[in-house]
Every structure is written in C-alpha cells, then in structure tokens.
C-alpha cells in the first residue's frame, strides 16, 4: 500500500479502497496492544485533532475510575490495512491525550518514546536513534496452563519438540531438532519454513521491511524474523505489527506463538538483541578509530548502558520469566561487559561489515516481553547519560566470559537475578530516565508498584510444581 503522511492522505485512501472499518490501536502500560473500531464514516480530518473518547480506567496501569475519560488521536503515517480481518479494515496507531487539558498522557508508552526521541534532539548529540531488535519467539501446537487453590501446571507441545521422538504420530517421521541444535538445519528438520515465509511476506505487506527469517536454536519451534532498523518510535510501532502478524499468521494454521522469554526448561530462551546507533546530519556517530571501530561517543554510550543496566532491565526484561533466561553459566548474557564478536558479553560490537554506516552496538540482555516504547526509550536515555557524562565503559573483555577463572569473573558485574532485584535497582537509579521529562516520577513509581503487586508478589504467593518434587516428603 502507498505511504500516507497526512490526514487527507488517509481519507483519500479510504475512498479509493472502499475501507469499511477503522481500527484504533494503542499500547497499554505493561505492553499489550489494545483496540476498538469505528465505521469509516466516523473518521474525518477533525478526528485526527480531536480524537475519539474511551474509558481509560479499564486499561492496566492507567486512570482511576473517577478520572476515566481519555482520548485516542490517530497518527496518519501509521496506517496499514489489516491482512487478517474479514471486512476491509484500516488500522491507525494512536497517541493518548487528556480530554480536558488536551495534553499527551504521561503514562502513554508511545508518548514516552516520542519524548525520548525529542530529548535526543534537544541534547544536540544526535538527531536520530536507530533501533534494530531481533525478537525471537516459539511456535507451539498446543498450550494449556492453570493455577488455582488446589493445582498448578502448564503443558505445551510442538510437533518439532525433541521430546516427541517416541510419540505415536501415525506416522512419526522423526525429524525433530535436537535440544540446542535448531540453528538452523534445512527442511524437513525445519518444518516451519513456509510458515515463517508467510509471516515475513505479510510483514512486508503491512509496511515492515524484513531482512531475514530462520529457525532458532531451541527445539520445539523457536524462530526469528529480523526487521530492518528504523528510528525509535517507528521501530516500536513496527515491533507491535511484528507480534500481531506473527501471532495471527500462526493462528491461521492452528498454531500459537509466544514471546515469553523462557517457556521451555533446559533449552534456549527467547531474547531480543537490540542494535543501536546514533546519527546526526546523515553521519553515523558510533563509527570511529577506537576499539572495534567505535567512536568515543559510542564507547560512552556503552558506559551508560552498562552502568545503568540493573535498573534498565526493569524495562527491557520486565517479567518474572525474563530471569529464567538470564541465568549465569548459560548462553544468555548476564555479564555486564562489552566485546567485539563475543556473544557472551552484554554488549557486542558486530563485526560482519567494515562500513562506517553499519557500526552499531548490540545490547544482548533484553527479551521480547518488553514494552518496546518503554524499553527502547530507557536504552536511549542510558546511552545519552553515558555520552553527556562521559562514562568510561572500562576495558573490553574478548575472552569467553564463561571460561574465566572464578577470581576474574567475580570482578565482572552481572545482571539482576530477578525482576524484584531489577525493580529495586530502578527505585534507586532512575534520575537518568527523568531527564527531559521523558519518564516522569509518576511513571517510574506506577511501573514499580504495578510490577511488584501484580507480578512479583503474585508469583511469590503461589506454590511451584517443582517445590512438591523437592519438599513434599520432608
């Protein structure tokens, strides 16, 4: 579909394509896409300025019941035709505003991302922050779970799962990736090639450029589709489209997708390595003559990200399950160090290409459970803080960090061991996020309170199935 930049462009497209329905989408506080729909006749030029009303008290982490009225304001250049719905529907991503003051809502994640991009320009460090996330996910054939007063369990299955080599499938053809060996044999072992290709082509259709798709390391249907990099807000929008397309394409084939970081015990979890570079006047500010071809600006950004990593992870790794992936001794990068090529470091400097245009940092800790508007913004704010304060990242570590002697490894800082630890770090280290009023104190406090009460404490109150194996007979 053609590019649309203005309200008039959208309205002309509605008539030309005989669009029947407008779907208005926005992000809730924890990180799920929400929506409601209106007939296309309800969309006129005034609607882009005045917005549509809805009940904000029903959205997680937002307004109280006595201040519930909110507005969604459609953003013209986010428009795309939904490829899954029966009736022809145009999707518009929206910003959230207060109906009385008309101001952008401070707890709207997209508003926070817009402020982060604006703050970068205000510092005059750069005019654009490019992000390139590599979001991994699992494609399952069945999932069941429950937790109540007398039982707690989950059951998942995949026709690719190595655990099914002995299952009677009439016939069982035997091509099931070994644990940790899914990266990446050709079909028939890779049974999901056509499905991932369909996902890739639909992403292109809705305006998300894709660079590659492939099977990932874990058995049981782990996959990755890599999007082409884009500016912060645009990439966060694209990641929401990515999740939407991937999940709904799988559903078409009676399969299900999860972006949960660690759904399978004893095999690789799903990360979301995030590539970052800062540009000004068309020049890549991260390219230079220093270590691994980095500039001083890039190294200071590394210092900021590593220095603030414990609190940063409260946004980039925001679930209790995130820390089932970030466990010392495995492949996930828990050591807060940087290195060229070395994938066991929290920050890697990719060395595939030598062009100055491709020079970037790869932050390997994040996972795809994060709210991209908040996660990307927090990473940018940490990098900016590093640059403004010239934070020294220390010496790089080019050794295999998992083979370091214990006394040397003890000197390398590590990521928090739980969401609770990350939230504690955020409680004490968040001034860098408040700069430019990007994250407000209210946003920080609400995030910590929501996560503690709805996730950390909720999990702590429930017996774990493995505890019965450990303790039932004591």
Q: Which residues participate in catalysis according to the annotation?
A: 55, 134, 136, 216, 224, 273, 343, 362, 364
Q: Are 250 and 258 in contact (CB under 8 A)?
A: no
Give one word for 255, left, alpha or beta, with left for phi > 0 and alpha for psi -120 to 50: beta
Beta strands in 343-428 (DSSP E): 347-349, 361-363
Under 8 Å between Cβ of 169 and 161: no
Inter-residue contact 73 to 60 (CB < 8 Å): no
In angstroms, the CA 450 to CA 461 distance is 16
β-sheet bridge partners, residue 404: none
Question: Alpha carbon of 88 to those of 22, 77, 80, 121, 186: distances in Å?
Answer: 9, 18, 11, 38, 37
Q: What percent helix, strand, coil does the chain show, rounded to 5?
A: 40, 20, 40
Question: Token match 């409601």: residue?
Answer: 36
In whole angstroms, what is the distance from residue 136 CA to residue 152 CA?
Answer: 27
Task: Please state, in angstroms and rounded to a whole number, the distance separating the CA atoms of residues 81 and 423.
Answer: 38
Strand spans (E) along 6-127: 21-27, 33-39, 52-55, 69-74, 80-81, 89-97
Helix residue spans in 189-278 (DSSP H) = 193-205, 232-252
Per the DSSP assignment, residues forming a β-bridge with 27 are 33
Answer whether 152's CB lies under 8 Å from 288's CB.
Answer: no
- Token pair for residue 37? 């729909």
Other C-beta atoms closer than 10 Å to the C-beta of 381 total 28
């Amino acid at each position: 579909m053609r590019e649309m930049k203005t309200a008039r462009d959208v309205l002309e497209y509605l008539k030309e394509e005989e669009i029947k329905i407008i779907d208005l989408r926005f992000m809730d506080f924890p990180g799920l896409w929400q929506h409601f729909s209106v007939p296309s006749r309800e969309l006129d030029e005034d609607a882009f300025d005045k917005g549509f009303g809805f009940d904000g008290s029903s959205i997680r982490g937002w307004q109280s019941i006595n201040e519930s009225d909110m507005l969604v304001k459609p953003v013209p250049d986010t428009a795309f035709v939904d490829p899954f719905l029966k009736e022809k529907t145009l999707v518009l991503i929206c910003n959230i505003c207060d109906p009385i003051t008309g101001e952008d809502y401070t707890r709207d994640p997209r508003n926070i991302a817009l402020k982060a991009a604006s703050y970068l320009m205000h510092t005059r460090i750069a005019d654009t922050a490019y992000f390139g996330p590599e979001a991994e996910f699992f494609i399952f054939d069945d999932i069941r779970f429950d937790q109540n007063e007398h039982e707690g369990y989950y059951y998942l299955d995949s026709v690719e799962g190595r655990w099914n080599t002995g299952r009677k499938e009439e016939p069982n053809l035997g091509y099931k990736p070994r644990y940790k060996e899914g990266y990446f044999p050709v079909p028939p072992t890779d049974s999901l090639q056509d499905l991932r290709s369909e996902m890739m082509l639909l992403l292109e259709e809705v305006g998300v450029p894709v660079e590659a798709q492939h099977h990932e390391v874990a058995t049981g249907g782990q996959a990755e589709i890599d999007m082409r990099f884009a500016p912060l807000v645009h990439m966060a929008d694209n990641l929401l489209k990515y999740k939407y397309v991937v999940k709904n394409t799988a559903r078409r084939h009676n399969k299900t997708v999860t972006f949960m970081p660690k759904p399978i015990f004893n095999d690789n979890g799903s990360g979301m390595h995030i590539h970052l570079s800062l540009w000004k006047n068309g020049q890549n500010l991260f390219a230079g003559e220093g270590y691994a071809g980095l500039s001083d600006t890039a190294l200071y950004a590394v210092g900021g990200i590593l220095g603030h990593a414990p609190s940063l992870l409260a946004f980039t790794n925001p679930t209790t399950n995130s820390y089932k992936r970030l466990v010392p001794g495995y492949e996930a990068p828990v050591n807060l160090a940087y290195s060229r090529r070395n994938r066991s470091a929290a920050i890697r400097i990719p060395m595939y290409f030598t062009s100055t245009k491709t020079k970037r940092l790869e932050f390997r800790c994040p996972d795809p459970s994060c709210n991209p508007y908040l996660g990307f913004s927090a990473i940018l704010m940490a990098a900016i803080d590093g640059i403004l304060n010239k934070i020294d990242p220390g010496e790089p570590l080019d050794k295999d960090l998992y083979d370091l002697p214990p006394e040397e490894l003890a000197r390398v800082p590590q990521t928090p061991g739980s969401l609770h630890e990350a939230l504690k770090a955020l409680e004490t280290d968040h001034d860098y996020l408040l700069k430019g009023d990007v994250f407000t104190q209210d946003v920080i406090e609400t995030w910590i309170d929501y996560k503690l009460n709805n996730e950390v404490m909720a999990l702590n109150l429930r017996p774990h199935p493995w505890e019965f194996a450990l303790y039932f007979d004591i």
